[in-house]
């Protein structure tokens, strides 16, 4: 099936070949900046940046609570209402990460090994994908399915999901 292909040997370095080797490449760079509005969930990020305060959204019709917040309830399409939340929740699924690409946004905050997880805030329908930062990052020690966690806000906040992270609650449950 592949006998129609014109085979040319690749150099040992695999790339950066120039004219005369059958191909030629040019370097291009694209710089794009966004100033994205958070629209109907703007208040979530404004409260975090300005007051280190966590808000969730509740549907006035079906009473379901969403965080990550949603301006509209996906279940009944009603406009939701804001309410405060304690920031306590539980780990639904953890990932112990030992490699990520050099330009991963997470590397601003942590280097491998680090732990991220699905975290469900108490009483909430949906989950955050969030960093969990235990004192002990040994595999499956401090962060497991069901581990109670509490939110922490970073000193520097810019209005992004990286402004906060979670820490496992101490055994006495005081969240410290």
Partner 1 sequence: MRRVAIVGVGQLPFRSRWPHHRYPELAMLAAKAALDDARLRRQELDAAVYSIYSDLLLRQGGPEAIVHDYLGLNGLPAQRVSAGAASGGYALRAAYAEIASGLADVVLCLGVQKALDVDEPIAGQRSDGALEVESLTLDTTWHLPFSQQPWALLLTAHMARYGAPTESQIAKVAVKNRANAALNPNAQLRRPVTLDEVLGSRLTNWPTTMYESCLYGESAAALVLVAEERVSPAQRPVWIRGIATSHCVSTDFMADDDPGRIWPLHHACRRAYAMAGIADPAADFDVVELNDLVAGLELLSYAEIGLCGLGEGGRLIEDGVTERDGPVPVNPSGGRIGAGHIAGVSGVYSAGEVALQLREEAGERQVRIGRGRGLMTVVGGSGLGLGAALVLDREAA
98 binding partner 1? (CB under 8 A): yes
Cis previous bond, 68, omega within 30: yes
Among 20, 22, 155, 171, binds partner 1 (CB under 8 A): 22
Neighbours of 92 (CB within 10 A): 14
55 touching partner 1, by CB under 8 A: no
Q: Strand pairing partners for 58?
A: 65, 81
**Interaction between residue 15 and partner 1 (CB under 8 A):** yes
CB of 40 to partner 1, least distance (A): 13
Q: Which of 14, 20, 155, 171 binds partner 1 (CB under 8 A)?
A: 14
Q: Which stretch binds partner 1 (CB under 8 A): 51-59, 77-85, 154-162, 168-176?
A: 154-162
* Residue count of the chain: 176
Q: Are strands 128-132 and 114-121 parallel, antiparallel or unpaired?
A: antiparallel
| Residue 104: count of CB within 10 angstroms of its CB | 13
Cα 163 from Cα 41, distance rounded (Å): 15
Cis omega (within 30 of 0) for bond into 113: yes
Binding partner 1 (rule: CB under 8 A), the pick from 28, 136, 156, 172 is 28
> Is 129 a residue that touches partner 1 (CB under 8 A)?
yes
Q: How far is the CB of 29 from partner 1 (least distance, A)?
A: 9
93 binds partner 1 (CB under 8 A): yes
Cβ(106)–Cβ(160) below 8 Å: no
User: Could you say whether residue 117 binds partner 1 (CB under 8 A)?
Assistant: yes
What are the structure tokens assigned to 160, written together?
């992004």
Q: Which secondary structure element, helix H or strand E, spans residue 29, and what is its range? A: none
Chain residues in the site for partner 1 (CB under 8 A): 1-2, 4-6, 8, 10, 14-15, 17, 22-23, 25, 27-28, 30, 38, 68, 90, 92-106, 116-118, 120, 125-131, 139-140, 144-146, 160-162
């Amino acid at each position: 099936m592949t006998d129609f292909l014109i085979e040319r040997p690749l150099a040992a370095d695999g790339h950066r070949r120039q004219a005369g080797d059958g191909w030629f490449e040019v370097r291009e760079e694209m710089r794009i900046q966004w100033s994205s509005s958070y629209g109907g969930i703007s208040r979530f990020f404004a409260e975090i940046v300005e007051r280190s305060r966590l808000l969730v959204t509740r549907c006035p019709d079906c009473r379901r609570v969403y965080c990550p917040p949603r301006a509209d309830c996906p279940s009944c399409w009603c406009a939701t209402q804001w309410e405060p939340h304690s920031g306590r929740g539980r780990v639904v699924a953890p990932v112990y990460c030992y490699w990520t690409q050099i330009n991963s946004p997470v590397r601003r905050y942590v280097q491998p090994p680090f732990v991220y997880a699905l975290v469900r805030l108490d009483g909430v329908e949906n989950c955050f994908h969030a960093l969990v930062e235990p004192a002990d990052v040994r595999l499956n020690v401090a962060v497991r399915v069901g581990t109670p966690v509490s939110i922490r806000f970073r000193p520097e906040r810019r209005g992004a999901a990286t402004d906060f992270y979670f820490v496992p609650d101490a055994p006495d449950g005081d969240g410290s």
